[in-house]
Structure 1
Amino acid sequence: MESAAETFNPWSVVNVVFHHLAGQGLHPTLGGADPGAPAADLLRALGIEPAAEGDRQVGENVQRHLAQIRAAIFSEEE
């Protein structure tokens, strides 16, 4: 019996770590660097594959690609 690969949103890890640090009296700040990639690396190290859904970078890349397609199609019609 093969088990399905477990996935998890990397931002959930960022949220858990942020609240854990704040609970310990530390005051982590977000900004400047995107913590999504290190969170995804942490998940992989734990044997969990990060899921693309909810990933801002994936969504932005899709939107950018769609804009390129629209520009290519509609610029030919003009």
Structure 2
Amino acid sequence: MDAEQPGTPNESYNPWTVVNVVFHHLAEQGLHPTFSEAGDPGVQAAELLRALGIAAAADGNRQDFQRKTDELARIRAAVFGEP
């Protein structure tokens, strides 16, 4: 997930960490937030993130994505002799 603001670096966050921080803050204020008590909380969590102006990146965490891409390239080179 990316948080882009003009003039700031593009940062990557785990979306569940952001949701967890919001929930803890609400609980500290005496509220008892819940998401989808009988099912997948993903839809409500995504709505919360959008409301905060946070959009999930299609490739997930960029650093993890790049490490996986590099590792796959290394394996391809070792197995198939690709550069």
TM-score range, shorter chain: 0.3 to 0.5
TM-score of the pair, normalised by structure 2: 0.38
| Greater relative contact order (Cα < 8 A, sep 6+) | 1
TM-score of the pair, normalised by structure 1: 0.40
